[in-house]
Amino acid sequence: MLNFSVLGALQICAGDEAVEICGDLERVLVQTLLVSEGRPIPAETLAEEMWGDHAPDNQANALQAHVSRVRRRLRALEPERRQQRLVLRPSGYWLTVESGELDAVRFTEGVKAAAATMAEGPEAASKLLREVLALWRGEVFGALPAGPICQLAAARYEEIRLRAMELLFDAELALGRHDAILVELTEAHIGNPLRERFCKHLMLALYRAGRQADALEIYRRMWRRLSEELGVQPSRELRGLEHAILSHDTALAPAGDVTGVLRSA
């Protein structure tokens, strides 16, 4: 079994042994096949992903040369494997990836499972989300420039990562851990200043920590940013949270602590 990792710079490992995919073109080749998640990629599409508008005159031969080098490197990790991982089929090139071998698939499946687990209890959801978020080692593909297939995949994985963080903060706040996640929330809000759900999470955590003025200041900054950059107002939900903070609504207290927020406000 191999371990393919794209949530960061490309890595391919068999146990403690890793294979180096040399050259940006070969890395893009492997990454494109990986994010296809079982779908064959036509040679023309692969070439466009690798070279864009600057494909060599002998494009077919050049592509085949890169494919051959990747095959040799994969074979070095699995010398006992009978069939090639990377094959050419009538519909295009195909890279065999078994269940559990690609970190991006494990991540997306883990986020779905955590979302379903939230209804049963936030503790289990929080644990699972932290496990799958730990799969990320950096920017998808290590920010290696590539074509539209890899760009769309990177954007999709990044959006799922942000949704996973939102679910994680939902779970942690439901468990009353507002103090423990304040740093994480602040970083998430600063890094994604137009994402209202992070703003909501941070406002609630600050309020529960006895920092009503800071929570309201976060809202005012968000209001100005949305107005100036997008020409819109905060959502009804965010406006409602501001009103609840101003009125010391007891519904903002963590579960099982109706008076805690009032004491700290």
Residue 80: pLDDT band with limits 50, 70, 90: confident
Residue 256: pLDDT band with limits 50, 70, 90: low
Please report the pLDDT score of residue 55 as a whole number: 81
Q: Which domain holds residue 51?
A: 3-95
Has residue 139 been placed in a domain?
no
Instruction: Report the range out of 15-19, 143-147, 211-215 with the highest average pLDDT.
Output: 211-215
Has residue 156 been placed in a domain?
no
Domain at 208, CATH number: 1.25.40.10
Beta carbons within 10 angstroms of residue 82's beta carbon:
5
What 3-state DSSP class applies to 210? coil
pTM: 0.90
Give me the percent of the chain exceeding a pLDDT of 70: 96
Has residue 76 been placed in a domain?
yes
Has residue 220 been placed in a domain?
yes
Last residue of a domain, one of 73, 95, 117: 95
Residue found by looking up tokens 């096949």 in the block: 33
Domain at 46, CATH number: 1.10.10.10
Please report the pLDDT score of residue 249 as a whole number: 94
Q: Is the pLDDT of residue 109 over 50?
A: yes
Q: Maximum distance among all alpha carbons in the chain?
A: 74
| Residue 19 exposure: Cα atoms within 13 Å on the Cβ side | 22
Q: How many domains does the chain have?
A: 2
Q: Which tokens sit at 216?
A: 């309201």
236-245: Cβ within 8 A, 24+ apart: 237/196, 237/200, 238/196, 238/199, 238/200, 238/203, 241/200, 241/203, 241/204, 242/203, 242/216, 245/203, 245/207, 245/212, 245/215, 245/216, 245/219
Please report the pLDDT score of residue 16 as a whole number: 83
Please report the pLDDT score of residue 190 as a whole number: 97
Has residue 144 been placed in a domain?
no
Q: Given its phi and psi angles, is residue 10 left (phi above 0), alpha (psi -120 to 50 degrees) or beta?
A: beta
